[in-house]
Chain A
Amino acid sequence: MTDTALIVIDMQVDFCAPGGWVDQLGEDVSNTRAVIAPIAALLDRCRSAGMSIVHTREGHRPDLADLHANKRWRTRVHGLGIGDTGRQGRILTRGEPGWQIVPELSPRADEMVIDKPGKGAFHATALDLLLRSRGLRHLLIAGVTTDCCVQATMREAAERGYAATLLEECCAAVEARNHEATLDILRAGGGRWGRVMRSADALNELGA
């Protein structure tokens, strides 16, 4: 367990809470909200076991210098662009209310927080450096959304030689069928990028 970290992906108001970005786009946040309680329980157990914990937040600098033009354009056409002002401040912009991690899952002072401008948590961040410098080689992955940033981070982790375990009931997508399809793809071929497990099984295996 000393080489294992729990990484909680993008449990931010903009993705998981009423009034956040996804909610303002007119999409349903009930799936992404539903994993808050299981992840809170997971954090309790991992903290008690002394496991290393990483939180990620997707977001861009206030000057949007790290926002690709096509990402900005796609989100604007979709209804509300990154960097534009919504009901919880500027969408996915660092420091804004909507960009914060939901209060139920707030990081503690001694936990790593990774601010990422892309979908994968390794892209353009110090995550790989922080994990390697601590001797962390196995990642337990939770958070949102399964089909987007969670899957991206799992593929990136495998690519860098980490063992990755996706905690299936602690992940969600906006659309349930995309969550299920992603799990099917990740399980295929015996798990091309790692394993998909229930968190109780993964933690029991670790003795956590």
Chain B
Amino acid sequence: MSFRQVAASPYAWPFDGAWSAADTALLAIDLQLWLMRALARQDVEEAATQLIEAARRAAVPVLFTARIGLDDHRPIDPALVDSRPPASGEASAILPALEPPSTFDVIERRGWSAFTGTALDQILRARGVRNLIFCGATTDGAVHTTMREANDRGYECLLVENACCAQVAAHHEAILRITRFGNGLFGTTARVAAIVNVLEGNAQ
């Protein structure tokens, strides 16, 4: 079953028309208990939850990422919440309301990009995924770094505006603007409602 294009900015997603549960995945970046607690954005948690639940009902695969320790990286200034994940173990815990059915659905990452040192690309290609929907935190950190790499790899990317956030609101807004620049430098952006609308009511 294919879905119609999602109303998005600067262009309707995906660029080439219809999409389906067979060629698409939702990437939920770092919806980790510790990080979301630190960011304290109930609105973003609720929007991401709504999106993830709609994707699950439509059988669109949902993959989570979780940042764990950075032992093999040079120290990063701890001023930003992104920079200080707790020790491995509790670190990868996802928001309980969203807990994935299998721990294999959580990609544990050590870098900023979920592609670095992980099997993410292999998993997506093995499933035939061509389109990626991004939500999570932080917009300017792991979400954008991962989306840039996905875009260079040829995935058709949709960033969900109100289901992601940054520690600094201006940085979230700047990433949305840069993503949309030049008819979509890295893809296109939409709100949760536009995607849920397509998933739930308008299957072709």
The interface of chain A, by Cβ under 8 A from chain B, is 25, 68-71, 73-75, 77-78, 118-120, 123-124, 147-148, 152, 155-156, 158-159, 161, 163, 174-175, 178, 181-182, 184-185, 188-193
Contact = CB atoms under 8 A, between A and B. Distances in A.
A189 B76 contact: yes
A181 B178 contact: yes
5 contacts: A69-B154, A118-B151, A148-B181, A159-B116, A189-B82
Interface string B16-28: 1000000000000
A124 B115 CA distance: 14
Interface in B46-102: 72-74, 76-80, 82-83
B112 to A, nearest CB: 6
B185 to A, nearest CB: 6
B148 A152 contact: yes
Contact of A155 (B112, B156, B167): B112
A178 B113 CA distance: 22
Interface string B120-147: 0000000000000000000011000100
A75 B15 contact: no
B80 A120 contact: no
Interface of B: 11, 14-16, 72-74, 76-80, 82-83, 111-113, 116, 140-141, 145, 148-149, 151-154, 156, 167-168, 170-171, 174-175, 177-178, 181-186
Contacts of A152: 148, 152
Contacts of B183: 74-75, 77-78
A71 B141 CA distance: 23
A148 B154 CA distance: 16
